[in-house]
Structure 1
Amino acid sequence: MVPKTHAYDALNDFFKAHENIVVEIEILPSALVSDDTLLLQDGINIGITKKVLAQAYLKARTVFFLQDGSSPSEALAFEATRIMLLFDSEHLTAANFRKRRLVSVQNEATGASANSLVAAAQQELQFLNSILTSPLHRQSKSPTLWHHRYWLFSNILLNGTPSSSFNVLNVSAIKAEFDAVFKAGEQHPKNYYAWQYARRLIDILVSALRKPKDQSSQVQIDIQAIINASSMRVKDWCLRHPSDTSGWSFLLFMLRYVDALPTRTDIVSNVLDLTIAFRWQHESLWVFVRTVLSNSAILVDGQDLFVERLYKYENQRDSYTAPASAALRWIETNKTADP
């Protein structure tokens, strides 16, 4: 059996050496790794067996509970939480310890020392990216880790310090957040917790739009432009994963906040075009189609034109058009002007 200390040291050293970048972690079958091998590393990618990870976790847990509450060794406890959360993504005590440490840094960061908070927040974001977007089936759908990410974004990244704040309501920052959601959605299909995080992200953007305009109108316009552009990216992701009901549900949610009617129309048109062209049968896709085509508040005057296109497709009367027939019956029964 691999000594717990060796397993812990190897994994902890890897995390410390790459704390400022996103790494990829994969759990390997024991049959692929010799008994005396701790990690398989290829650049910023590592593979570790469940047995070695379990040994590292046992050591990390010992380190954490010995050091927790002792300020001189707080750094050791903080390091241990990375391995604890990698092994057990629902370890609330470890996640809350990381929150407390970031709050402590935030409270002490003023003026020139605000850079320390920037560095700590960015390292935390990279750590979360590494776990949430790696091919780790359970971790990528962890409600604890996604809630921790939301807490980090809304309490640290968004608010910054009393004297200054991070500018995270911009194109590149929001794009990075959606990139994490997209990748996590690929690692764990129908990833409800990842898409729920995306909903809360949109809520933050919408709240920023509704605040009193104490900033320039250009800032307000930019936030709405971010929402509109993000909706197109979500649509593209959904079309690459047409069976993912969580993605379609989020796209439907997001359409309510797209202020440009041409953008909403283009999204629906593109989805309907490809659905018909490829004769897709995915139930989650057809739920999206029937819901959006029954809602005149989304398409305004263009609703009837889309329904007519669907009738033309249904008239082909083959086995592939059965979902269209069911969708049309649903639309006739549930037409509404409310979102």
Structure 2
Amino acid sequence: MTTPENAYQELASVFSSRGNQILEIETISSTLGSPFLQDGLFVGVTKKMLVLAYTVARKLFIERLLPMSDDDFLMDSSQTEAQCTAVSNRVITETMLLFDCEHLNACNWRKRWLLAAVTRCAKTNTPDQIATTRQVLETELTLLKTYQCSPLHRHTKSPTLWMHRLWVLKQMFQIQPWSVQDLLDLQQEELTVVLRAAELHPKNYYAFSYMRKLYTLLVETGDVAERSDWAIRLAKCLIDPMRDWCLAHPRDISGWIFVVYLLERVPEQHIQTEVVRKVVLFARDIGWEGESLWTFVDQTVREFDLESILDRLLSSGISESGSSALVEDQGTLKPLPWQARLDRAKTYWAMNRKKQ
């Protein structure tokens, strides 16, 4: 029978040996015969084992970590991997957050530990110290990715973890300047994390809220001459992958609303028109009736004055080849709710079925 100490040591060993790798952790059924399974970077653990490990980690947290002073944090964060004990202080909070992703004390302890490393880096400001501190922060991001991209019940939508991730990135921007290309690459990497979390937990409001905050942070961080042009460039880089993801997950209203958010930051109407055109063509050609997609169509058509585009694409008897060329404007529609947009599409489908 698994004891609390054995359960904690098992999970602590996984986190201690993780390095900078990203794990995929999943809760498994106790009927499998073992409370803990591991195959490389894939880890399975039962809920009972998580509870047992958490009880030990929480006790260690109260006894060892809560009394730590600022000097203790500076000393602990300066230790190399070789100097760390078999089970380091960081592993205690990592185990706690695996069980309870909203544990603010554990998350705030990690902030204090990371802030001590950043403070020491600011004082010395040597290339080696900067590289070491950046590595520590990147390791924190891979830990968060382990939580947020694993099929766990709450971690993919945890506001505490998403805000902690944003805080870590802010610290990374402070220790050294980033090039424009590095910021663009980072934005794409973070979008990958967000989309994976959104697949694991559909309609993930917290993940896309994080992406909005990250976008604002990157706009303010970029060392560019014209801030408005930089903001437009960042938004443009996200529009196509977000549109494609939403077309693959057309029921996800949070994703569609984030696309609206991006289109609002791009002044070129031809980009707005092309996105709406492709979405309407997708819905029109496969007969999609879901509310989320048509809500997106209704909002973008109203906001960007694209009534004529919708009229052309859903007018019965008009053949659309899929190119960007459109027929002559046949009049402007009055603003309609999303249900009326869908009714318009249903009329189009009915007319074309009769012709066939």
TM-score of the superposed pair, with normalisation by structure 1: 0.83
Provide the rounded CA distance (Å) in 2 between the counterparts of 1:246 and 1:89: 22
Q: Distance in 1 between matches of 2:193 and 2:313?
A: 35
Partner of 1:234: 242
SS in 2 for 1:26: strand
Change (3 A) 1:124 1:176: same
Separation in 2 of the partners of 1:73 and 1:267? Answer: 51
Structure 2, gaps ≥5 residues long: 78-83, 319-336, 345-356
1:307 and 2:304 aligned: no
Rounded Cα–Cα distance in structure 2 between residues aligned with 1:6 and 1:232: 48
Q: Which amino acid is the alignment partner of residue 14 of structure 1?
A: V
Distance 1:312 1:6 in 2: 69
Q: Rate the CA distance shift 1:16–1:221 in 2: closer, same or farther, 3 A.
A: farther
The CA deviation at 1:197 is: 0.4
Map of 1:335 onto structure 2: none
Distance 1:324 1:284, change over 3 A: closer
Q: Give matches, 1:140-151, under 5 Å.
A: 140-151=156-167
- Going from structure 1 to structure 2, the CA distance change for 1:13 and 1:165 (only over 3 Å counts) comes to farther
Matched, 1:111 2:126: yes
Q: Which runs of 5 or more residues in structure 1 are unaligned?
A: 315-322, 331-339
Q: Deviations over 1:80-138 (max 9, x none)?
A: 11010110011000000111111110000122311221011100000000000101121
Per the alignment, residue 220 of structure 2 pairs with 207
Distance in 2, matches of 1:54 and 1:138, equals: 15
Matches of 2:23 and 2:275, distance apart in 1: 34
Matched residue SS, 2:2: coil
1:222 positional shift: 6.3
The secondary structure found in structure 2 opposite 1:277 is helix
- Structure 1 residue 48 displacement after superposition: 0.5
Shift, 1:220, TM fit:
7.8
* Alignment map for 1:43-122 (pairs within 5 Å): 43-68=40-65, 69-70=67-68, 71=72, 76-109=88-121, 110-112=125-127, 113-122=129-138
> Is the CA contact 1:235–1:251 (under 8 Å) kept in the aligned structure 2?
yes
CA distance in structure 2 between the aligned counterparts of 1:307 and 1:137, rounded to whole angstroms: 43
1:38 and 1:324 mapped to 2: Cα distance?
Answer: 49
On the 8 A contact 1:141/1:192 being kept in 2, the answer is: yes
Report the equivalent of 1:170.
183
Tell me, in whole angstroms, the C-alpha distance in 2 between the residues paired with 1:187 and 1:21.
20
Shift of 1:19: 2.8
Match of 1:263 in 2: 271
Partner of residue 184 from structure 1, selected from 188, 197, 212: 197
Structure 2 residue identity aligned to 1:123? T
- Distance 1:167-1:14 versus aligned 2 partners, 3 A rule: farther
Deviation at 1:54, TM superposition (A): 1.0
Percent pairwise identity: 33
Map Cα deviations across residues 296-332 of structure 1 (whole Å, 9 max, x no partner): 3xx6xx5412333234399xxxxxxxx97612899xx
Larger radius of gyration: 2
- The residue number in structure 1 matching 2:349 is none
1:319 aligned residue:
none
* Residue of structure 2 equivalent to 1:197: 210
Match of 2:29 in 1: 29
CA contact under 8 A between 1:313 and 1:324: conserved in structure 2?
no
Alignment check: 8 A CA contact 1:276 1:313 kept: no
Structure 1 residues 312 and 325: CA distance shift in structure 2, 3 A: farther
Match of 2:7 in 1: 7
Query: What letter corresponds to residue 77 of structure 1 in structure 2?
Result: N
Kindly indicate whether residue 28 of structure 2 is the aligned counterpart of residue 20 of structure 1: no
Query: 1:235 is matched by which residue type in structure 2?
Result: R
